Amino acid sequence: MEHDGRTDEPDKRTLRREFLAVRNRLTPDVVREAGGTLAGHALELPELAGARTVAAYVSVGSEPGTAALLDALRARGVRVLLPALLPDNDLDWGEYAGAGSLTRIQHGGKMALFEPSGERLGPDAVTAADAVLLPGLAVDARGMRLGRGGGSYDRVLARLERAGARPALVVLLYDTEVVARVPAEPHDRPVHAVVTPSGVRRFPGA
């Protein structure tokens, strides 16, 4: 999905570098502990408690860990969909069947990702999700999310909108990544809630 006139992009690039620099200083123990605490808060969300299908992702590097959350959702009987990156940066989806069902994929010079090794369900599979867990680098007081800039989740959100799907949108972050404001463009969509190691914050206007 192309967007013209991205006047905020330089500001976004600067912010991305700043947030990534902070993340890159985190120790593996801090990342692991944050992931476990975050999972506990996320599992208490009513949107996840009642969900039959959740679109999520496998954290990599210094992202807040999602492994505990994925396994807990699956143990509840939730169908968990995980993304697989396509050559055009769009996302296909596959079902999570435990840690052994993941394959580490190197996408050119990009970060290696853990993707589902089973059947591909197609990009539209995400429209069946009751909740979508989004990666990000920050979220502001309006619920506007700062992503990594690849555009993959812009496409996901646009696909949900075209389909008339209204899943709960939840971003998983560290506490310091909830900020007053991030640059936003007309195509950006707010999330409904952010989950951090210290708890949950909701954005009623989303």
Average pLDDT rounded to a whole number, residues 16-37 = 93
Distances, alpha carbon 136 to alpha carbons 37, 74, 174, in Å: 18, 23, 10
Is 199 assigned a ligand-binding role in the annotation?
A: no
Is 13 assigned a ligand-binding role in the annotation?
A: yes
Q: Is the pLDDT of residue 145 over 60?
A: yes
Is 12 assigned a ligand-binding role in the annotation?
A: yes
Is 94 assigned a ligand-binding role in the annotation?
A: no
Is 16 assigned a ligand-binding role in the annotation?
A: yes
168 DSSP β-pair partners: 131
Is 104 assigned a ligand-binding role in the annotation?
A: no
Is 145 assigned a ligand-binding role in the annotation?
A: yes
CB atoms within 10 A of CB 13: 12
Contacts of residue 142, Cβ cutoff 8 Å, sequence gap at least 6: 181, 184, 190, 203, 205
pLDDT band of residue 23 (cuts 50, 70, 90) is very high
Provide the total of helices (H) and of strands (E) in the chain, helices listed first.
5, 11
**Sequence ranges of the domains in the chain:** 9-198
Could you read off the pLDDT of 150-188 as tens digits, one per residue? Answer: 889 999 999 999 999 999 999 999 999 999 999 888 778
Is 146 assigned a ligand-binding role in the annotation?
A: yes
Alpha helical stretches, state H, the chain: 9-24, 28-43, 46-49, 67-75, 152-163
Homologous superfamily of the 9-198 domain (CATH): NagB/RpiA/CoA transferase-like (3.40.50.10420)
Which sign, positive or negative, has the C-alpha torsion 153, 20, 11, 199? positive
Q: What does DSSP say about strands 168-172 and 79-85: parallel, antiparallel, or unpaired?
A: unpaired
Is 152 assigned a ligand-binding role in the annotation?
A: yes
Q: Is the pLDDT of residue 2 over 70?
A: no
Average pLDDT rounded to a whole number, residues 85-97 = 94
Q: What is the DSSP string of 65-81?
A: P-HHHHHHHHHTT-EEE
Q: Is the pLDDT of residue 139 over 80?
A: yes
Q: Is the pLDDT of residue 78 over 80?
A: yes
- Give me the pLDDT at residue 42, please: 94
Is 148 assigned a ligand-binding role in the annotation?
A: yes
- Give me the pLDDT at residue 1, please: 27
- Give me the pLDDT at residue 9, please: 60
Is 174 assigned a ligand-binding role in the annotation?
A: no
**Gyration radius of the chain over CA positions:** 16
